Structure formats: C-alpha cells, structure tokens
Structure 1
Amino acid sequence: MLQYINDLPKHVIGIHATGEVTKQDIENVLNPRIEELTARQNEINYLLLLETDIQSWTTEAWWEDLKIGLRNFDKWNRIAVVSDQKSVEWFTDAFRFFIPGQTKCFELSELRQAIDWVSKQD
C-alpha cells in the first residue's frame, strides 16, 4: 500500500510504502502526485519511505513505476530512499547511473536527514 507523506515542502513528493504495493497504488497514489508536481515545476524531488520488502511490489507495480520514471526521465532532481534493507541500498546506488539527478539511500533512523536532503533546492 502507498500513502502520502504530509508535511513536506511543496516541491517534494513523499510516499510511504507498507505491505503489498500494487499497480493500483502506483496509478492512484504516486502517479497523480508526480503529474501534479511536474505540472507545477519542471523537476521532481521524491522521498520514498520503504517499510516493506521490495518483493512485496507486484510485477505490475514495478512496471507502472518504471513507466513513470521513463516518462519523466529528464525531470528527476533528487530521490531519497529510506529503508533498512541492504538490497534497496544496492538498487538505489545502481539506479543513480541510469537517471539524471541525484539519488541517495538512508536508513529508517535517518528519516529526518533524508527529508532535509531531498528538500534542498539547488
């Protein structure tokens, strides 16, 4: 399930992932926020608080997420992924070579630092 993280600066999208993440979660939660943000500004600052296994994302959810990423390829500015899963840290580190902008992984205990980092305006 995906839920919005409130109380972030207006130029940052915050999403909290728990349990199973489905295509409908991506379409109904993440995609509308991405579209709204890109209509307002030409860059995306994205915070993902991942408190579920990456295996809990359905194949369809991964596909929808990938399509959003590619559709907005040149708009990614900062992506902060917050998780205690080492595989997520590896994936985040590898992902940074495929998109413009900056990506950084944080542990759950570093959520405040992740918010501060993703909120910086260059």
Structure 2
Amino acid sequence: MTNIHGIHIDVEQVGNQIFMEIKAIGTLTHSDYEKITPLIEDAMEGIEHPIINVYIDGTEFEGWQLQAAWDDLKLGLKHGRKFHKVAIYGNQRWQEVMSKVGGWFISGEVRYFDDSIDAINWLRV
C-alpha cells in the first residue's frame, strides 16, 4: 500500500500582495517541507512588506510527522507577521482546532471553513 502525501502550492503576486493556494494531502513529512519552504520564501523575496493571503485546502490532510510539525511551526514563527488572512478549508473537527492554534503564530486572521466558497469569499473582503 502506497502512502500518498505532499503539498501543492500555487503563488500569485501583484506588487506586495501575494496569494497562495495550498493543498495538503496525507501525512506531511520533513521532506515535504524541504521542498515547499523555499517556494514560499522565494515568493516573498525582495518584497519589503508583503501582504499574504492564503487558502489552504485540508480536505485530504491527515496530519504531520513530528519533524514536519516542527517545520510548520518554524515557518510560522519566521514569517507569521507577513500573513494577512489564512482561510483553512477542511472537513474534520481537529482541523478547526488547529486553525485556532495556528492563529497564535501569525499576526493576521486565521479562520476555518467547511465550505470552500465561503473561505475564498472571506479572503476577497
């Protein structure tokens, strides 16, 4: 049986405004973060005061391996002040709880949604 996991990211940038769409699948590993962290940091490079809005699709997300959870925390601590809004679209109660915890590590707003359209509409306001 194959254990499918990973992170897919799309980044759009206009001036200092950055929109990231992230899809997390399965149980994330340290190697997933080794691939994705440079992409996120490259998107912010050269922008003095980026305003970042993020849409996270967690409907196929199952969690993190321990090292990957640490990688996620480090990423949040390093860049958390740059995030304006993070919308987490999910389908499990623990994801809603984690969205509240994630809000402790960024200066912007983090909200959980069980409807993708509501999440995207909130990011556009």
Same fold (TM over 0.5): yes
Query: Tell me, what secondary structure is at the counterpart of 1:84?
Result: coil
Runs of 4+ aligned structure 1 residues displaced above 6 Å come to: none
CA contact under 8 A between 1:78 and 1:103: conserved in structure 2? yes
Aligned residues: 113
> Which of these residues, 45, 50, 54, is aligned with residue 46 of structure 1?
54
- Cα drift, residue 117 of structure 1: 2.2
Give the match for residue 60 of structure 1.
67
Normalised by the size of structure 1, how large is the TM-score? 0.79
Q: Which runs of 5+ in 2 are unaligned?
A: 1-5
Q: Which runs of 5+ in 1 are unaligned?
A: none
CA contact under 8 A between 1:9 and 1:119: conserved in structure 2? no
Give the match for residue 114 of structure 1.
119
Give the match for residue 34 of structure 2.
27
CA contact under 8 A between 1:13 and 1:45: conserved in structure 2? yes
Q: Which has the larger radius of gyration?
A: 2
Query: Tell me, what secondary structure is at the counterpart of 2:100?
Result: helix
CA contact under 8 A between 1:16 and 1:49: conserved in structure 2? yes
Higher strand residue share: 2
1:53–1:79 CA distance, 2 compared to 1 (3 A)? same
CA contact under 8 A between 1:45 and 1:79: conserved in structure 2? yes
Identity of aligned residues (%): 27
- Cα drift, residue 27 of structure 1: 1.8
CA contact under 8 A between 1:21 and 1:58: conserved in structure 2? yes
- Cα drift, residue 119 of structure 1: 4.1
Alignment RMSD: 2.0
Higher helix residue share: 1
